[in-house]
Amino acid sequence: MGSDDGESLKVYVGEGDSVRTRLSSHDSDDNKAFFERIVLIVSKDENLTKAHGRYLESRLIEQIKGSGQAEIANGTSPSFSGLPEAEIADMERVLEEISILLPILGFDVLKAQKPSNLANDVSAGPRLTTDYRPIDAKGQFIARIRDATGEAIEDAGQFILLDGSKVYVTEKSSFTEPLRRRKARLRQNEKLVDTSSPELWELVEDTNFGSPSAASAFIAGRSDNGRTTSRAKDSGKTYAEWREEKLRQNETRPT
C-alpha cells in the first residue's frame, strides 16, 4: 500500500509461494513505485493451499474495490470460487480475522467510506455532539490536547472525529502535508469555523480520519500518537488498551 501524491491510496493484493521473489519482482516494477508498506498474511502451519490463497486474494480485491477507500493497482483481478463450500466457509472466517487485524496495522482499506454526515436516530430527535449512536458503533472516545478537545467514534473500521471538536489553528513542522491540505479544504468549505478563542477552530461536520493518530494530529496541528491520546469515554482506557481488549475478546470467543 502507498500513495503517489501523499494523500490518495493505492493497494496491490497478491498471492505467491515465494514472498521474497515476488517482492523483488515488484521492487523493479515502475508501476509499483508507490509501495510504502507491505503486510504479509501467512499460515503458521502451512495449511493454506494455492487455491485458498487465490480465493483470499480475489475476496480482498473485491472488498477493497467495494470500499472506495483505495485504488486497486492489480492489472487483473479475476474472481475465484474454485473451492468446496465447506472450505469457502473456512476462508470467510480467515477473511473476517484479516478484516479485524488490517486496520490495527494501518491498512484500513476494507470498509466502505461513510458519508461525512452520518445518519441520525430519527426517533430520538436531533443528534447532539455527545449523543452519537450509530448502529454499528464500536466505541466512543475523547482526546484532550491542552485547550483543544475532540470527540470521536470508531465505526466499521473508521475513526470519525465528530462535529463540535476543537482543533488548533497553528500547525507545527511535524504536521503532515496531507493533513495540511485537508485542513485547508475544510476551512475553505466552512467546515472549520472560528471560536471565541483565536487559537482554536471548531469542526462542524463529522469527518473520517481513518485512524486515531490522524484525528489527534489534526486536533493538535502536529504529529501525535492517538492510540494513547484518545481514551474511551466510558472506561478511561486508551485507544490502544481498548483495542487490545477487543482483540482478546475475539481470540477467546467460541469457534
Using one digit for the tens of pLDDT, what is the confidence trace for 134-188? 434 445 899 999 999 999 988 766 788 999 999 999 999 999 888 898 899 999 9
Q: Are 129 and 178 in contact (CB under 8 A)?
A: no
Phi, psi of 47 (to 5 degrees): -100, 10
CB 132 within 8 A of CB 203: no
pLDDT given for residue 234 in this prediction:
87
pLDDT at 250: 63
Q: Which residue has the higher pLDDT, 95 or 33?
A: 95
Complete DSSP assignment for 67-135: HTSSEE--S-------S-HHHHHHHHHHHHHHHHHHHHTT---SSPPPPSSPPP-GGG-SPPTT----T
| Per-residue pLDDT band at 112 (split at 50, 70, 90) | low
The residue behind cell 458519508 is: 115
| Percentage of residues of the chain with pLDDT beyond 70 | 81
Task: Give the predicted TM-score (pTM) of the model.
Answer: 0.54
Q: Are 105 and 99 in contact (CB under 8 A)?
A: no
Per-residue confidence (pLDDT) for residue 251, from 0 to 100? 58
Among the ranges given (53-62, 94-103, 127-136, 141-150), the one the predictor scored with the smallest mean pLDDT: 127-136
Higher pLDDT, 254 or 229: 229
* Residue 133: predicted pLDDT: 39
Contact 221, 167 (CB under 8 A): yes
Residue 145 parent element (H or E): strand 137-145
Q: How far apart are CA 205 and CA 199, in angstroms?
A: 19
Mean pLDDT of 15-31: 78
The domain spans of the chain are 10-104, 122-252
Write the CB contacts of 113 (distance below 8 Å, at least 6 apart in sequence): 67, 68, 69, 158, 208
Q: Do residues 16 and 22 touch, judged by C-beta distance below 8 A?
A: yes
Please state the length of the chain. 255
Residue 87 has phi, psi (to 5 degrees) of: -75, -30
Q: What pLDDT does residue 168 have?
A: 97
Those residues with Cβ within 8 angstroms of residue 176's Cβ, 6 or more apart along the chain or in another chain = 6, 217, 223
**What pLDDT digit, counting tens, does each position of 2-13 carry?**
776 556 788 999
Instruction: Determine the Cα–Cα distance for residues 232 and 159; give it in Å rounded to an integer.
Output: 13
3-state helix, strand and coil shares in percent for the chain, rounded to the nearest 5: 35, 15, 45
Average pLDDT over the chain, rounded to an integer:
80
Residue 196 has pLDDT above 70, yes or no: yes
Identity of the highest mean pLDDT range in 14-18, 63-67, 117-121, 203-207? 203-207
Q: Is the pLDDT of residue 53 over 70?
A: yes
Give yes or no for residue 33 having a pLDDT over 80. no
